[in-house]
Structure 1
Amino acid sequence: MAVDWIGFAYASLLIVGGIIAYTRKGSKISLAAGLTFGSVAGYGAYCVTCDPRNVKISLFSSFLLTIIMGMRFKRSKKLMPAGLVACLRIWAPERFSATLSSSTPSRTGLFPRTISQPSAASPGPASGPS
């Protein structure tokens, strides 16, 4: 079982960033957002650690935070923190697609395979006298 160190590092950066924003600027919103998104990203990294194909939570959190911080960067034109956070996780889909393509297929996930094959014991359709 390979640990998703990159995901855990990203989650801790989000939490630390929220705490730093609160201590420097007194921003309770930044603290709440840092703790919330850091926790969700940490849980996503835990899910990827348990099953490398279970990337839904990590992709959702990275997508949502990239959109939010990208809009903040576009509005403020300041690299810190919005531009940095948006750029840090914009490559997440590429990393997870490489993970998904190299792992073995699993039966759990968004679209599990449910192919039913007739068993050898069943005689097939009954053909009676007509």
Structure 2
Amino acid sequence: MHDFCFTYPYGLLVVLGGLIGFLKKGSADSLMGGVGSGALLLLAGYVSHQAYLRGAKSWPALFLETVVAVALTWVMGQRFMATSKFMPAGLVAALSGIMALFYLYKVVTGGNHIVKKQT
């Protein structure tokens, strides 16, 4: 599975979570953190997808996806430890942890598998 296949829905969930946090609690931190992180994920997914379509790998996109997922795991994990509230901190920390492991797996295995076109 290619990184962008999971990055698009993951990025959209992070954006949506930031918007919901802002609308429900008026939290500007939630808005900026969620929308900002989600936008970075969506951008990285797009760059990775475009590179794949060209038959290339995009290490910068994979690096950005990994850094954002690790950062969200850390920040939301700290918030979950402080509040013991699963929603949204625990959920985002768990999802981001899973995604960080997936991205690290992609790094270790050499990124997206590029299929060479037959001519």
The answer to whether the superposition gives a TM-score over 0.5 is: yes
Q: 3-state DSSP class of the match of 2:48?
A: helix
Question: 1:32 is matched by which residue type in structure 2?
Answer: M
Higher RCO structure (Cα 8 Å, ≥6 apart): 2
For residue 5 of structure 1, what is the aligned residue in structure 2? 5
Q: CA deviation at 1:42?
A: 1.0
TM-score by length of 2: 0.75
Partner AA of 1:94 in structure 2: L
* Structure number with higher helix proportion: 2
- Match of residue 64 from structure 1: 71
CA distance in 2, matches of 1:30, 1:93: 20
Structure 1 gap segments, 5+ residues each: 106-130
Measured after TM superposition, the shift of residue 58 of structure 1 is 0.3
Give, in whole Å, the separation in 2 of the partners of 1:6 and 1:18: 19
After superposition, give the CA deviation of every residue in 1:31-87 in whole Å (9 maximum; x if it has no partner). Answer: 111111111111222233225452100001011111000000000001000110010
Which has the greater radius of gyration? 1
Flag structure 2 segments of 5+ consecutive residues without an equivalent: 114-119
Q: Which residue of 2 aligns with 1:40?
A: 40
Which one of 78, 81, 85 corresponds to residue 74 of structure 1? 81
How large is the Cα RMSD of the aligned pairs? 2.3
Number of aligned residue pairs:
104
CA distance in 1, matches of 2:112, 2:11: 26
TM-score normalised to the size of structure 1? 0.69
